[in-house]
Structure 1
Amino acid sequence: MSSILEVSIDSEDFVLGRTLNVDFDVTITLEEVIPTGNRAMPYFWVSGKSLDEFEESIESDPTVEEIHQHLRLTDSALYRAQWAEQVQSLLYSIAEEEGTILDGVGSSGTWQFTLRFPDRESLSNFRQRCGELHISLDVQRVYSVSADQIDMEYGLTSKQRDTLITALEMGYFHVPRETTQQELAEELGIQSSSTSETLRRATAELIANTLLEKRTV
């Protein structure tokens, strides 16, 4: 049974948070984190009205060796960065304990994470690592989920599945739309920005586990 940790962390407590703690009108969402040696290589989305200013800022940051833009949409882009300093920090600790970032959104100096670990022991080890690294975790919720609480066919978390179904039922995907993102967020009881990120992640998972899985080479 997997263990879920919902936690808030100050941006100054980990390398990526310090580097991405910008004052521009953007929201940053972590995707996959890949451990390589003693580094962590995160993919992350940046959305907002100041993408160009964000790129100029991070390209001039001395802690960043390389920054690659993998995809650019109208108001968002997917990046991967390589850091100059060794990352014995939050992200590497997540990867070492085989953790998965279900949600990782940063803005205004604070990051909100929902992390999934294989079991309680892995979650406890992660929290112990953070204590040793002087990373302060504001734990909001810890709970367990069984395999049947995750849509294994499509790779969706229960939160992603509920958000997609609610959006469909409220007419969010209709043309023209019958509800706004803010109204959808109020129905789900979460922030509008979180709703947007959950919808995007859920849609990406559906595409990856349906259309891409069926595509022949």
Structure 2
Amino acid sequence: MGLVAEFQIYCDALPLVSVANAVPDASIVCSLQYNHGRRPLFLATVTGSSEQAVERALTDAYDVQEWTRIGTAGDTRRYQAVPALSFEEQLGGQIDDLSGLEALATADAIIERITVTADGWEQMGWFADRAAFTEFSSFWQRNADFGLERLTRDAEPKPPGNGLTDRQLEALRTAYEMGYFEIPRRASLDAVAKELDISASSLSERLRRAQTQLIQETVATLWPPLPEAEKQ
């Protein structure tokens, strides 16, 4: 059995915290793309506040070298941000144990959600066992303020993506970033298929399977069964 933890790291030197301070009425959820070396790119999903205020905050942020808006849906916008600093450069003034920071990248854990706040990061993650969580939490207790909100036991963690295959994830992300899901659509099925170098019919099937999987894993599990009379 693994552990599911929800916690807050209070450290205003963490990436994008200055952006959260500049737009306190916005919700900022980010993820890291670790395949970009010592300066992993950030994908930030921002809901609320004005487009102008959010993008001005990204432009003014000392830890953002450049940013690109890659999708919009209602009042939610998605950005890719290139960091101006490595984690070691960004946190070096507040954290003495930089080798310990690097070790966290190989911890037996999956951080599924990072919400950026005005004073740090709120995170939810899966940890293989108590030792893995203790290693993680002890580091932040030594180097910043750490607040544990919830720690529960659960089944072994699933890989990120709610059971989607790599191809389904790629199709959903490409379609989203190109504006296929926007109203009105900014990209056709054929355009997205061409970007992925597959046929439109293959893309359509891939998207349907991905959407069905997401509904089964998220929305459907929350709904009570319909009475038999309503199903007919």
* SS of structure 2 residue aligned to 1:52: helix
1:99 aligns with 2:109: yes
Conserved in 2, the CA contact under 8 Å of 1:35 and 1:95? no
Moved more, 116-125 or 32-41: 32-41
| Distance of 1:45 and 1:121 partners within structure 2 | 32
Query: Secondary structure of 1:81's partner?
Result: strand
1:51 and 2:51 matched: yes
Q: Which residue of structure 2 aligns with residue 61 of structure 1?
A: 61
Helix, strand or coil: the match of 1:106? Answer: strand
Match of 1:143 in 2: 152
Whether contact under 8 Å (1:39, 1:92) holds in the other structure is no
The structure-2 alpha-carbon separation of the partners of 1:153 and 1:6, relative to structure 1 and needing over 3 Å to count, comes to: closer
Gap regions ≥5 residues in structure 2? 96-100, 165-214, 227-232
**Structure 1: which 5+ residue stretches go unaligned?**
172-217
Moved more, 16-25 or 136-145: 16-25
Q: Using the alignment, how far apart are the partners of 1:126 and 1:152 within structure 2?
A: 19
| Higher Cα Rg, which structure | 2
Deviation at 1:167, TM superposition (A): 5.3
Amino acid at match of 1:155: G
Q: Report how far residue 38 of structure 1 moved.
A: 3.1
Q: Secondary structure at the match of 1:12?
A: coil
Deviation at 1:94, TM superposition (A): 5.3
Deviation at 1:18, TM superposition (A): 3.5
For 1:18-68, what per-residue CA distance to the aligned partner results, in whole angstroms no more than 9, with x for missing partners?
343223421111235526433343322001131221111211223211212
Tell me which moved more, 15-24 or 37-46. Answer: 15-24
Aligned positions, number: 166
**Map of 1:205 onto structure 2:** none
What secondary structure does 2:21 align onto? coil
Which residue number corresponds to residue 41 of structure 1? Answer: 41
Q: Secondary structure of the residue that 2:62 maps to in structure 1?
A: coil
Percent identity between matched residues is: 19
Could you say which residue in structure 2 is the equivalent of 1:201?
none
TM-score for the superposition, normalised by structure 2:
0.56
Query: Bigger CA drift: 87-96 or 100-109?
Result: 87-96
